[in-house]
Every structure is written in C-alpha cells, then in structure tokens.
A and B are shown apart, each in its own frame.
Chain A
Amino acid sequence: MAETSLKIAMMHSDALVSRAREGDKNAQGKLVQVWYKRIYNFSYKFFFDHDMAMEVAQKTFISMHKNMEGLQDVARFRSWLYTIAVNYCREELRKKKTRRSVSLHDLKPGESEESYRWEASSGRNENPEKQLRHTELSDLLQICLLELSDEQREVVIMKEYEGLKFREIAEALQISENTVKSRMYYGLDGLKRILERKNITKETIGYE
C-alpha cells in the first residue's frame, strides 16, 4: 500500500514541486494530497496519537506552503518536508512533556468504543476475526516503537516506513550519515529486545 502511493508520489513530485515553488496553487494542493498521508502516518507512528498526528501534519503543510519559495533544490523536497515534520513532532513532544497531565485516552489508546481507531478499522472488507487480530498486532507493534528513544524512533520510522535513503534521513535531521546508520542499528537492536520481552517473534505472528 505504502509502496504504491510512494511510487505515485515520486512520479509526480519533481514536476509538481517545481510548479508549486513558482506559486501554482493547484500544484500545491496536489502536493498536499500526495504527501498528506505520508506525513500523517509518520507523525502517527511517532506519537501513536491521532490528534497530535493531525496537528503536526496540518502545521507541516501550512509551513510548506509559506516556505515553498525558500526550497532551493527540487530533488531535496522529500528530506526538506520531513525536516519540517520532524521539527513539529519535537515541538509537540516538548509541549506534551510540559503539560504533564495525561488523559486516560492516551494511556490505553484504542480501548474505548468511540475511538477513531475502531471506526477506522471498520471499513475493511476482510473477515472480521483476521482484521481484529491484524489491528491488534499493529497497535502492539506501535507501542513497542514508542519504547524506543525519540532519536532512534525518528530514524527507524523514516527508514522502515517512509523508505527514505540514509542520505536523505541525514539531510532531514541535519546529522551525519554514520550517526543515522548507528541510530538505526541500535534502534533495531533495541526493538529486537523489546519484541523478545513481549514474546512477539516471527513464529508467533505467522502461524495462521
């Protein structure tokens, strides 16, 4: 799913970006359509929270719209966009930390029936049992991701789910490529231990 939308995005992006940079409103609108889902999902995985992800996605695209003329290299649009997104993610994280209070909803996401996640999963045309199991696994893995440090989580999500090259991640985070790679290594290593602790292995999830 991610692969196909990425391919479409890549196909259109360069031409679209250069048109949008010249102030074409339509092109900017299309860019938003193409990239919104990616940015939303990036920040969703970062926070595992719909509201914060929406906040970050909207802020990112407003900022993109404002600063489009400042983008120098069209080819670097992807890392540029993720730079904005990562910065807003960090800002939200700071706000969340200073707020200190945590709602019940944040503690056990997806538990209540009114949850957006419940609505989101309802639309799939698969058999319900498999669907439920799948959603549960997805959420479980999300919680595992949250246990990583912020720095490792950024890199793992960008590499594993957003499919950025190490060079692009380094550009987006403004750190060296080697640092990115070592964060990725220790991120995966950490995840391995977390998954082992929760008894999630290739065998336990692939039995069906």
Chain B
Amino acid sequence: MNKPDESTLIAYLYGELDAKETEKVVKYLNQNPDVEKKLQQLSDVQGILNHVEDQEVIAPPIFMDSNKHASRFWRSSYFKTVMSIAASFLVLLVAAKLIGPEIMYSNGELRISFKEQKQIEKPIEQATIPSITSVDVQDMINNSLIKNNEMIATEWANNNKKIQASLRNNLSSNSAKIDELMKVTSQASQDQVRSFVASMQEDNRKVMSDYMQLSAKDQKMYVENLLVDFSKYLQEQRKQDLVFFQSRMSSIEKNSSQFKQETEQILSSIISNPESAIKKVNNY
C-alpha cells in the first residue's frame, strides 16, 4: 500500500475515517514503524494541549424579554434629550407668561417690550397733542410751500433770461462763421467744377478714341478670321463634294462593268445553247 497522505493520517488520528480506510492505515502503520512513531508524537502533542483550561465566563443577559427593552427606552439618551428640550420650552413658556413681554412689528421696526414700556410712551403723546393743532401744521406747511414756490419761480426766470442771452450770442456768432465758410466754399467749388468738367471732357475724349481704336482692331481681326474660316469651309466642302463625286463615278463604273459581264454571259449562253435560251426567254 502507498503511504497515506497527511489528510488521511490526521483523519485517522481523530477517528474520522470509515472502517475500511482505518483498516488500511492500521496495516500500513504496522509495516512502517517510523510513520507510526510520528503519529504517536502528534498524539502526544494532543495530550499536552488538553491541559489548556477553559476560562470561566458569564454570558451577559441579552435578548431577555420585551420588558427590558421598554426600561432601556426610558434610559436611552435619545429620550433624555427630547425630554430636556421639552422641559426647557416649558420653562420658557412659564417665564414668558410671568413677565408678559409684548412683541410688535410695525413700519419696519421690531419692538420687544415689557409692561412698563407702554406707560412711558403715553405721556409723551399727551404732551405733544395740545401744543400744535392740525390747522397750525397745515398753515405752516402752506406758508413754507408758497415761499418755496416763489423762490423757485424767481430762480427759474433768472435762469431763463441767462440762457436766452447766451443762446442769442451763440447764434449770431455761429451764423457769421457759417456765412464766411459758405462763401469760401462756394468760390472754391466753382473753380473746382470747372477744372473737373474740363478734365472729365478730356478723359472722355481719350477713352472714346482708345475704344474706337481698339474696336476697329477687333473688328478687323474678326472679319479676317471670318474670311479665313469661310475659305476653309469652302475648301472642305469642295473636297467632300469631289470625294462624293468620285465614289458615285466608281459605283457607276462598277455597275456598267457588271452589266457588261451579265450581257456577255447571257450572250454566251444563247450562243452555246440557243434552244434552252429561247425557252427561257419565252418563259419570261
């Protein structure tokens, strides 16, 4: 038997082999004392290892029953924080009730006041009301408005005068300048027009003569070309005509020669066999 591998040996050592395999291993071990010794040593190690003792430990009480979960809930930090927040709100509410603050928001201004604040505000209103009536205030406003209007009117009139004067000055000076400028420009423009017209005429004449010369040349060239082309065309035509004429002539020649041959044949046949020929002729 082959040497059993380590897996088999270790399974044998822990008695996890079936009877057949065990028998094989025992047989092998009997024949191989060195392997048996090795196994014995491992078994000794097992024996020594058994001296390690278990530590005593008490399992913590987890998952006991639902009541315990409930009691835990009361002690949980979450519950505590919620309760503390609620309690502080309660304290705030009670304090607010006792002190009685008043919070107002009007005309973009936030007022937080306690009860005494109102008593201070009232006497001020009472002091101000009798001294000035609404009619007085109206009069004062009207007076100041009238004064203001007068001031504005005078100022406006002054400004108007100043502006008109300055406008007039500006206008007169500007028109004088413009007249001068106009005169200068008109003089200049007459001279310029004359010279321009003269130059224009000259240019025109030049252009026209150039054009005429050029066109005359072109026409000459064109006519020459035309004549050459026409003569070429005539020559070509004549050639073609001649070729045509020749071919016709040759065909006529052929026909006449053929005709000649045929007549010769007929004649020869008549001569050689006059009777049949006569018959043939009659048949025709």
Task: State the A residues within 8 Å of B (CB).
Answer: 1-2, 25-26, 28-29, 32-33, 36-37, 40-41, 44-45, 50, 53-54, 57-58, 61-62, 65, 120, 123, 134-135, 137-138, 141-142, 145, 156, 159-161, 165-166, 177-178, 181-182, 184-186, 188-189, 191-192, 195, 200-202, 205
Contact = CB atoms under 8 A, between A and B. Distances in A.
Contact of A33 (B14, B42, B54, B59): B59
A12 B17 CA distance: 28
A191 B7 contact: no
Interface in B26-74: 41-42, 44-57, 59-66
B10 A184 contact: yes
Given A181-B10, A195-B45, A37 B54 contact: yes
A182 B44 CA distance: 18
A29 B63 contact: yes
B25 interface: no
Given A159-B14, A182-B6, A192-B41, A202 B48 contact: yes
Contacts of B41: 192
B42 A181 contact: no
A26 B67 CA distance: 12
B11 interface: yes
A167 to B, nearest CB: 8
A151 to B, nearest CB: 15
Given A28-B63, A165-B16, A181-B11, A1 B55 contact: no
18 contacts: A29-B63, A40-B55, A41-B54, A41-B57, A50-B55, A134-B53, A135-B53, A141-B51, A142-B52, A159-B14, A161-B52, A166-B11, A181-B8, A184-B10, A188-B42, A191-B49, A200-B48, A202-B44
Nearest to A116: B55
Nearest to A179: B7
A65 B63 contact: yes
A114 B10 CA distance: 41
Given A36-B57, A177-B7, 8 more contacts: A25-B65, A25-B66, A32-B63, A137-B51, A141-B52, A160-B46, A160-B49, A184-B10
Contact of A191 (B45, B53, B56, B66): B45
A133 to B, nearest CB: 10
Contacts of B50: 160
Contact of B64 (A29, A142, A186, A195): A29
B64 A166 contact: no
Nearest to B44: A202
Contact of B42 (A138, A192, A202, A205): A192
Contact of A45 (B52, B61, B63): B52
A188 B7 contact: no
Nearest to A163: B14
Contacts of A62: 62
